[in-house]
Structure 1
Amino acid sequence: MSEQKFNVSIDGNEKQNLSLQEVLSLMSRHELSPTDYVYCNATNDWQMIIENEEIMTELKAQAKPLKKPSKTEENENLDSKNNNNTGTNTSGIKSTNFSELPNNPMLSEWYVLKGENKFGPFQYTELIKMLQEKVVFEFDFAWQKGMESWVRIAEIQEFCPQHVKKLQESLMPEIKNVFFRRKHPRVPFAGNILVHDNNNVWKGQAIELSEGGAGLIMENSLVVPGQKLYMHFKANDELPAFNAICEVVSKKFVNGVKEKKAPICYGVKFTNLSGNTQEYLQKFTQHQQAKNAA
């Protein structure tokens, strides 16, 4: 049987008929990122490399052995899988302290623990990009040489929003291409919403809005990224009422949340809007952007 060939897309440029070893070689030289795309013959569609079972299985087989997490960390990881607690709480952030590590984290290798699956190694910038593209989430775990155990990404200082924002503003060559601009920039918005998932109904507040999605605070700590929700945005002085089918794309981590009705910050993208809603939202966001620029 002939060896399988892969077509990959790197920043929009396609490389064709690569062997598995050639793909792995490109990844080892960091010329190919886990968030670049490979064509999947089974689905006849492009998928992220990190989602390709054959490539990731071989990559994990060749990876250096990882330090086994302590029993406490394993239990904590199981709890995070079951509860996926989220929100923003910087009080639990732990600094890995660059001076205590054998290498600058910008140059060293990071590993990711998603559920029971370990991935890596990744460069710091690759992990930032995966967070940006929602391949990895704040409630997943990360580890690098010099750290005692797996730690939730949200609790590592090098990945906290304030630290990442400073890097973004630094315009360092290795950082400037990591960040993306939203296709539909959000503007501040204050409005009440009702949410349901075909089983339950709960309340929330919209805090950001665009024609493509919204930033929300919802009174439900059990919602997870990838989940489909149905939302009714109530009318206010700026917009008429509208309905939207949404997909959850982000969830802020909050340490120690146990109440189901705890308010949590989420990001959603609109997959379907009622009537002429997209036109209303486009005009609203353009008007708000013009006001903010004045």
Structure 2
Amino acid sequence: MQTLFYVSLNGGHVGPYSVETIVQKIEGGEHVWTDYVYCEAKADWVVIMEHPSFADKFQASSVKTPAKAVDEHTVFNAEAPKHDDKYKEKAWYILKEGNNYGPFSKLELVQMLQEKTMFEYDYVWHSKLNAWKRVAELDEYSAESIRAMKESGLSEIAEVFFRRRHARASYGCSLIVHNNKTVFKGRSMEISSGGAGILIDNPNLQPGQNLFLHFQPGDGVPPFNAVCTVVSKQMVKDTKSALDSVKYGVKFTSISQSVRESIRQFTQKAA
């Protein structure tokens, strides 16, 4: 019996469709690979390109340089200096909302990560890769690799790390976390007016998920609620409890202006 899937569309869903029909609709522009299908096995919505039934088809359709990107790359190579700079070579492409963007240099991608216009769960591609990969999967963008860039001493790289949109500060308080299904306990480690670094007693949350957070009062910031998106996930080694095993980076998507200002003042004082 053929498996059928519902597909997310404008806050609702359409279908059910077969795998072949959904692929045809993606090729025709009705859907994109970053839309969601409902997975019966997980009883949850899953990004199309990540579902086992679609993974091979996504890679087969995507592992090639977009025509537009080739043109841009050709223009860049014609004007580029002859010396090869591994941080400045424009050879990386980004997948956003089903569209390919690029080429970008590694330095530009790191700057996007710093400014939170690109996240660890976004997909990128380089000619040396055999498939689109999440940023978090690549050693090229690991914490160690980015730290080596930061410590290289090159002025342009130092400027990227110096310019941070939101000041951060250590901030400890307990949290209540909700994902529209389950309530979890957690605690914060650091905070900025744009987001926070938090520990949650669930190691299975994924970048891209939306969460509702309730921050208890702590360190001069009043209690507040925030809607956020998980933008990074980092395993913490040598811990004594499940709560300490994973650190999540979250971006605030909805927070009151008065709370944002309180956080800004707190981080400035702590700097």
TM-score by length of structure 1 reads 0.50
**Could you tell me which of 213, 218, 228 is aligned with 1:231?**
213
Secondary structure of the corresponding residue to residue 224 of structure 2: strand
Q: Which runs of 5+ in 1 are unaligned?
A: 1-58, 66-102, 255-260, 290-294
**Could you tell me which of 52, 58, 64 is aligned with 2:70?**
64
**Could you tell me which of 127, 140, 157 is aligned with 1:158?**
140
**Partner letter of residue 201 of structure 1?**
V
Matches within 5 A, 1:134-283: 134-179=116-161, 181-220=163-202, 221-222=204-205, 224-225=207-208, 227=210, 229-236=211-218, 238-239=219-220, 242-248=223-229, 250-252=231-233, 263-269=246-252, 271-273=254-256, 277=259, 281-282=263-264
TM-score by length of structure 2 reads 0.53
CA distance in 2, matches of 1:143, 1:240: 41
Deviations 1:69-126 (A, max 9, x none): xxxxxxxxxxxxxxxxxxxxxxxxxxxxxxxxxx653225122345754433222222
CA distance in 2, matches of 1:286, 1:117: 38
User: Does 1 or 2 have the higher relative contact order (CA < 8 Å, sep 6+)?
Assistant: 1
**Partner letter of residue 272 of structure 1?**
I
**Partner letter of residue 182 of structure 2?**
N
Deviation at 1:234, TM superposition (A): 2.1
Deviation at 1:194, TM superposition (A): 0.4
Indicate conservation of the 8 Å contact 2:114/2:164, yes or no: no
Indicate conservation of the 8 Å contact 2:169/2:267, yes or no: yes
CA distance in 1, matches of 2:118, 2:194: 21
Deviation at 1:249, TM superposition (A): 6.0
Deviation at 1:250, TM superposition (A): 2.0
CA distance in 2, matches of 1:201, 1:264: 17
Q: Which runs of 5+ in 2 are unaligned?
A: 1-64, 72-83, 236-242
Q: Cα 1:211–1:148, aligned 2, differ >3 Å: closer, same or farther?
A: closer
Indicate conservation of the 8 Å contact 1:215/1:265, yes or no: yes
CA distance in 1, matches of 2:192, 2:115: 18
Residue number in structure 2 paired with 1:122: 104
Secondary structure of the corresponding residue to residue 164 of structure 2: coil
**Could you tell me which of 105, 113, 121 is aligned with 1:131?**
113
Aligned length: 185
**RMSD after superposition:** 3.7
Deviation at 1:246, TM superposition (A): 3.1
**Partner letter of residue 136 of structure 1?**
M
Indicate conservation of the 8 Å contact 1:252/1:266, yes or no: yes
Secondary structure of the corresponding residue to residue 214 of structure 2: strand
